[in-house]
Chain A
Amino acid sequence: MKVDLTTRIKGLTFKNPITVASGTFGTTDEYGRYVDYKKLGAIITKTITVKPREGNPMPRICETTAGMLNAIGLQNKGLEDFIIHKIPYFKKIGTPLIVSVAGETVQEFAELARVFEKHRDVVSALEVNLSCPNVEAGGVNFMKKQERILEAIKAVRQRTSLTVFAKLSPELGDVLEIAGKVLGEGADGISVTNTLRGMAVDIDSRRSKLAKDFGGLSGPAIKPVALRYVYQVKKEFKVPVIASGGISDVDDALEFLIVGADLLAVGTANFVEPRATLEILEGIKRFCAKQGIKKLDELRGSYRPCGDSKKGCHR
């Protein structure tokens, strides 16, 4: 049975809902030997900043229970390099490209939007990274102030008609409240969740296991939290949602679809199973076929809430 996996978001059409979470799929073709990029619904890039960023010192990675902490620090070669060296690659691939962007200032957010607006032939949407936990100057600390986040989204919106997703995490405060505000400033959709800030201590040296006190927690450990945010954002605002946070296998992916996710961004799982995206995609097809689901939209958002009934969910 052929299953229609087409995913439509505000005039954009994706042949399936599977994409990759920013920063977990390399910069261009690092996973090319494992995954035919043309089979993915979309590709979300590693976050691009205006200026090149060296990122943080080592160690940047530390494994934790069912997940990992990272403090990469948005290492990337900057906007110019991306335009010159990476855009042509993605143009050739043809898979819808969602560029993750982050600015250290509102002006930089504006600049990123202005430049990518000129590459509409390759870029389908922007994912505005408002919640990287690893950047002192431009990340969460600076962004903690809600006004700055809202200014950033406003600046991006003014300079591009590309579809704009705001990438959020609970680091910013109440996710639903902020989602409401960024949507009010013109974001088209929400990408949730970024990593959750955490820490790990070496008991012998009594230092952090990372070169920073904190890192961003990702992987299966954060999945229930991510699932809840996707569900709540979808329910509250009925806007396009890119789901990320511990999607590791087909069952995870299906849970996110059932609570309404539009795109499913596979993240840390890529590090473990380079073919995780395609395996999940095949799994979704199998599940739909088995359940007699002809169109993915029949499954999407089919969650049956508990409601207020005193009887609870299962009666």
Chain B
Amino acid sequence: MTKKIFDEKVKILQNVKVNQKYYKLAFASPLLAQKAVPGQFLQIKIGEGNDPYLRRPFSYYRTSGNKVEILYEILGRGTRMLSEKKAGETLKVMGPLGKGFTLTPKGKKRVLVAGGVGVPPLVFLAERHAAAYLLIGTKSKAEVMPKSELKNAKAKILYSTEDGSYGVKGRVTALLEKILKKEDPGKIFIQTCGPKKMMEAVIAIARKYGIDGEASWDENMACGVGACLGCMVETRSGRMRACADGPVFPFKELVIP
């Protein structure tokens, strides 16, 4: 079955800073909202001119009714321009793109491991489907999401910060190991999104305990629809396209260098 992809001109409802690092942008679009699955993404054209030229991929942070939210960090010119957009301005947005997370991992307990900008799709997942834990690792308190943003996440939320300014000091993988020691690994399913180094460490731990899971793998993208072959991911079945075959891949498929 071919999934429907829509290309919509949307009006920004809200574009606000939620903490020292992240911005939240909301718009209304029934077509982009209603069929989206956590882990899928949108391609947003920022500005109407030729610079920046390419669209930028953003994972879904949340949908409710016809409303779509994304959460982003200023990482370059494009996202800076996006942060300057006001409610009422328009954007061209294409989606829902890619393959999202598995929603029903056969009765297993989910442990969601999020790092940095990998937080939004896992919050979305935890809001849609209860998880045992949502582990959130960030560099410092500056990136910790306000409680109001996490109030609908159906999971026990634990934090780690690298500098110890919030939650447990250290990396999120230490939190994960602590949980796995308490739980029956056979009943756990891990879903992760975050910086590659973090996901690699999560996958290494999962392998050590013999746990299945999924990672949302990200590469620089141009087209977002499987045509340009810019965002290939090494898998056991060869190189796959993060945008069209992923971005979510099973741990057992991923070949970690």
* Chain A contact residues, CB within 8 Å of chain B: 23-26, 30-31, 33-34, 54-55, 58-63, 65-68, 70, 72, 75, 219-220, 248, 268, 270-272, 274-275
Contact = CB atoms under 8 A, between A and B. Distances in A.
A272 B54 contact: yes
B230 interface: yes
Given A219-B53, A220-B51, 4 more contacts: A58-B220, A65-B51, A72-B229, A271-B54
A248 B55 CA distance: 14
Contact of B7 (A30, A75, A271, A274): A274
Given A33-B5, A58-B219, A274-B7, A75 B229 contact: yes
B226 interface: yes
B5 A272 contact: no
Interface string B228-240: 1111100000010
Contacts of A23: 228
Given A33-B2, A58-B220, A274-B7, A70 B230 contact: yes
B203 interface: no
Given A63-B52, A66-B53, A248-B50, A55 B227 contact: no
- Judged by DSSP, the binding face of B is loop
A61 B230 contact: yes
B225 interface: yes
B230 A272 contact: no
B223 interface: yes
Contacts of A67: 53
Contact of A55 (B7, B45, B221, B232): B232
A299 B194 CA distance: 53
- Judged by DSSP, the binding face of A is loop
Nearest to A209: B220
B222 interface: yes
Given A58-B220, A62-B220, A271-B223, A24 B228 contact: yes
A220 B222 contact: no
A31 B224 CA distance: 11
A248 B51 CA distance: 12
Contacts of B54: 63, 68, 268, 271-272
Interface of B: 2, 5, 7, 45, 50-55, 78, 94, 219-232, 239, 244
A46 B165 CA distance: 51
Of the listed residues B53, B220, B223, B227, the one surrounded by the most CB atoms of chain A closer than 10 A to its CB is B53
Contacts of B219: 58-61
Contacts of A75: 229, 232, 239
20 contacts: A30-B227, A31-B225, A34-B7, A58-B232, A60-B220, A61-B228, A61-B230, A61-B231, A63-B78, A70-B230, A219-B53, A220-B50, A248-B50, A268-B54, A268-B222, A270-B227, A271-B223, A271-B224, A272-B45, A272-B54
Contacts of B50: 66, 219-220, 248
A59 B219 CA distance: 7
B53 A220 contact: yes
Nearest to B7: A274
Nearest to A56: B232
Contacts of B78: 63
A26 B239 contact: no
Contacts of A34: 7
A61 B241 CA distance: 13
